[in-house]
Amino acid sequence: MSYSDWMSKLPAELHTTSLFKLVIPGSHDSMSYDLDVHSRIIEPNALRRFSRIYCVRKIIHTWAATQEVNMTEQLNAGVRYFDLRIGRKPNDTDPTRLYFHHGLYTHTDVETILQEINTWAESHPKEILILSLSHFEGFDKKIAAKLHNHLIEFIKNLFKAKLLPNMVNPTLKHCWDNGKNVIVSYDHPSYHQAVLWRKITYYYGNSMDRAKITAKLCQALEKQKSPNYFFVCGLNPTLPHNSGILRYILRVCDSFPNVVRRGLPKMLRWAKQQHEKTPMNIIASDVVTRADFVKTVVELNLKKGKRR
């Protein structure tokens, strides 16, 4: 079954359900499939000084690339929330050119990818896309305002009437009736506008241990008794920020996607069980085209006893 237009195929009774209460598949570090092994190292901080060493960059690439397919393929697969981390490369000759990042910078610039998303949104008007922009790396004080204003103006000029302004109770029907299908969350309080949504809380376990991840997620989800805004339940494991990272990155024949693939089926079983107990909104993961991730998340909307 194709999930390229799954929102338009939901039962009629869900068309007037708040988007905050639908269960929506999302991708964690959505642009990490495009990381450039030749870029400088951004994180972890302890390795920045080794940016000139190719093998170090190669290791970071192996363990920072959390997605395997490009943006259009993620959209076609049914992903509707995108975790987009923005950065400016130091010494770039273009004063307003921006890229994405996760450990390294991407090959492709922000404007090119947003244009790709816009093209897809135009051909799928009933699929609501949520773009979460955050982690503004390299936005130094002297140029930050210029970069933010340029990016925001580009977003408004690109998506135009498709942008859904911030509102109290967005629903599929409201979006469809008004020709809106792009929501942009901008994680910077100084640049909030009516057309931009505030930061979307992303709950995650901050661990490589599935038991610790689910324990932290359970604790966070218990607080969401009556959700009145978007929130993300991140199934993604997180590498240690200390020397414990060596336990993983020194595995010559392993990679972060492989680690995720081995654990994702169990994480999805947990999500199905947890959905019966607490509200769930956006569920985000790495390697989103694996393990029936999208199918499992979308079908949670059809479960009896869905909280509204």
pLDDT at 286 over 90: yes
pLDDT at 305 over 60: no
| Arithmetic mean of pLDDT, 18-36 | 98
* Amino acid letter, residue 152: I
CB environment 137-166: b (16+ within 10 A), e (fewer): bbbeeeebeebbebbbebbeebbeebbbeb
* Percentage of the residues of the chain whose pLDDT score is greater than 90: 89
Structural domains in the chain, CATH included, are 6-304 (3.20.20.190)
As given in the structure block, the two tokens for residue 134 are 């955050």
Q: Residue 264's pLDDT is what? A: 97
What global pTM score does this model have?
A: 0.96
* Percentage of the residues of the chain whose pLDDT score is greater than 70: 98
pLDDT at 259 over 60: yes
Name the residue with higher pLDDT: 42 or 244. Answer: 42
Mean pLDDT over the full length of the chain: 95
- Banded pLDDT at 191 (limits 50, 70, 90): very high
pLDDT in tens, 134-168: 999 999 999 999 999 999 999 999 999 999 999 99
Q: Residue 307's pLDDT is what? A: 47
Q: Residue 197's pLDDT is what? A: 98
| Arithmetic mean of pLDDT, 209-233 | 94
Phi and psi, residue 208, nearest 5°: -95, -5
pLDDT at 306 over 60: no
pLDDT at 1 over 80: no
Name the residue with higher pLDDT: 279 or 242. Answer: 279
Catalytic residue set: 28, 102
